[in-house]
Structure 1
Amino acid sequence: MGSGNRHRKVKLAFEATSLRIPLADIITIREVQNAVRKSLKYGQIAASIREVGIIEPPVVVRIQGDDDQYRLLDGHLRLDILKERGDKDVVCLVATDDEAITYNKRISRMATVQEHRMILRALEKGASEERLARALNVNIGSIRDKRRLLDGICSEVVQLLQDRIVPINTFRELKKLRPLRQIEVADTMIAMNRYSWPYARSLVAATPQNQLVSEQRKSIRGLSDEQIEHMEREATNVDREFRMIEQSFGVDHLDLVLATGYICRLIENVRIVHHLAKHHPELLAEFQRIVQLRNAA
């Protein structure tokens, strides 16, 4: 029921129909740097647009007080590529609220699940696997693997991992598990921020036989009850330590920001700099290094 409610909220976040909007009427919230234009990711998106067109429409929101102007929430690279091509307009999804920060945190267009959905949409529109492989600069076997990515993955896990960069082999490991165990493993990977294939394989190995899909029970040699109990104790200890660090991180970070700001103000005072240079040169050098690191960031 919970996942269904979330699905309905996502639908209500957008207007019922998409709009074809002139590029000149869309205001971007960040510039695309030349270094990004030379990146592999940019080239892949450009090739995809050239081969099969825009599959994922950019997301915009109306600017209050000006019905003819829109702010871009998602799709900066796609919009930049269209401008470089000389296109004049683009079909967009129109969000009902300006949620640029939360929207971009929730959805990553390069996430594995999102790429899978993009490929399915392209295939539904008539693009061939060969054409997609050329567009994304991958071999056709990779396209076929991504097409079948979520076969055997329960919907709750799809929701959990939809904005994560997860290796295809990790999804292969998840398919060896029953749905409830899939959810447990996905939750563990998110909590530890680890999605690698070896980590997923270790979680599968630590799975009791009755939580594996039937065809995997003989091929996967599980751990003994004692080993699983020991791993669970260790995982509980690690989780407790992680949460303690997580709770103190905000306060520690704030203290660091305040201290760095104070040091920067000290260094701006000529008299203090002269005093430190004369009596504490080692402190002055350290303070100057801190200021340089802050400015570089």
Structure 2
Amino acid sequence: MTRKDRCHFDAVLHSFEDACVTLPVNALLPVRTLRKATKSSRKYQQIAASIREVGLVEPPVVARDPSNPGTFLLLDGHVRIEVLKDLGIESVECLISTDDEAFTYNKRISRLSSIQEHRMIRRAIERGVPEEKIARALDINPQTVRRKFRMLNGISDETIAILKDKPCPMVVFETLRKMKPLRQVEAAELLVNANNYSAAYASAILAGTPQAQLMEGAKPKRLKGISPEAMARMENELARLQEAITSIQETYGQDHLHLTIIKGYLAKLLGNARIVRYLMHNRPEFLTEFQVIADMTSTLPPEAAA
């Protein structure tokens, strides 16, 4: 490493101090106020149950208050600190941030998907953690833990790969399990393309699935108020929708490239005063449309891009 490289390396600033510090809970100054409804929320109860059962997993993040030595600003972990106060815990181990900007925390959270949660529960059970302990930590009943443990039984690997980071509730996988593997993949793609992971939408896909694509032993589809003719139309419409989505996916990249080139070309044309004058006098409707295209910042409709 050259001297110049060492100087550059030494100039890199650390985001946190090297060691955690144990601080009195009451000495931490919050940078925001929790809503009154927070303590009655499901999320608060789950965090409280987790802390009671396994302790604090992620330490709060604080920053030294430069205007008041010996005090600390609480940047991240407001709910955790409130739970500790309720539990009567007087001190907590904290990470010390070198930056007092709270905006960066909790703004890029990767929410835990159902499949990721399933894998964590499965790994814990395989390591010998009792179901009851997991249930208490997650504030759910042991039966739900067992359902989450078995959630992917009967689900194809391809379907799991498609939905591995998607916010699918557990009941969606229970619906997909009634379909044959190939239909599971098609259904997963429909969920992703529609960005709709609700149980109702999964049930609608199941209702539009031909009997031949259901698992053996699956009960015939019986939806109140829907005639066999309407069911057949639903199956045909879902099939056409799948074909249309596949067709769009195959040409989307090329179409988007063409639109980008066209947009750049029109913007260049409109930069020529002679062309603009000609269009204004001879084809004013073209000029208006060309300007709209040249000013586009997204290929989405205005209401979708907002």
TM-score (norm 1): 0.51
CA deviations over 1:88-113 (Å, ceiling 9, x no partner) = 33487x9xxx9646622xx225x534
Counterpart mapping for 1:200-279 below 5 A: 200-207=202-209, 216-219=215-218, 221=220, 228-233=235-240, 247-249=301-303
Aligned positions, number:
222
1:36 positional shift: 0.4
After superposition, where does 1:1-297 map in structure 2 within 5 Å?
A: 20=20, 22=22, 30-54=32-56, 57=58, 76-85=78-87, 86=89, 88-90=91-93, 100=105, 103-104=108-109, 107-109=110-112, 111-117=113-119, 119-120=121-122, 123=125, 127-151=129-153, 152=155, 154=157, 155-161=160-166, 164=167, 166-177=168-179, 181-207=183-209, 216-219=215-218, 221=220, 228-233=235-240, 247-249=301-303
Cα distance change, pair 28–150 in 1 and its aligned pair in 2 (3 A)? farther
Kindly provide the amino acid, as one letter, of the partner of residue 146 in structure 2: R
Letter in 1 for 2:170: I
Say whether the 8 Å CA contact 1:178–1:211 is kept in structure 2.
yes
Cα distance in 2 for partners of 1:247, 1:21 equals 51
Q: Mind listing any 5+ residue stretches in structure 1 that lack a counterpart?
A: 1-14, 64-68, 254-297
Answer whether contact 1:61 1:70 (CA < 8 A) is retained: yes
Identity %: 32
Question: In 2, are the aligned partners of 1:20 and 1:89 still within 8 Å (CA)?
Answer: no
> Which is further off, 40-49 or 227-236?
227-236
* 8 Å Cα contact 1:205-1:221 kept in structure 2: no
CA distance in 2 between partners of 1:113 and 1:145 (Å):
12
- Equivalents in 1 of 2:94, 2:74: separation in Å? 14
Tell me the secondary structure at the aligned position of residue 164 of structure 2.
helix
| CA RMSD after TM alignment | 5.4
- Structure 1 residues 34 and 178, CA, compared in 2 at 3 Å: closer, same or farther? same
Partner letter of residue 164 of structure 2? Q
Name the CA shift for 1:50/1:167 in 2 (closer, same or farther; >3 Å).
same
TM-score by length of 2: 0.50
- Give structure 2 stretches of 5+ with no counterpart: 1-14, 65-71, 98-102, 222-227, 249-297
- Inter-CA distance 119–30: structure 2 relative to 1 (3 Å threshold): farther
> Cα deviation per residue 1:149-185 (whole Å; 9 max; x = unaligned)?
2333534134232xx2x33221112234455644442
User: For the pair shown, which has the larger CA radius of gyration, 1 or 2?
Assistant: 2
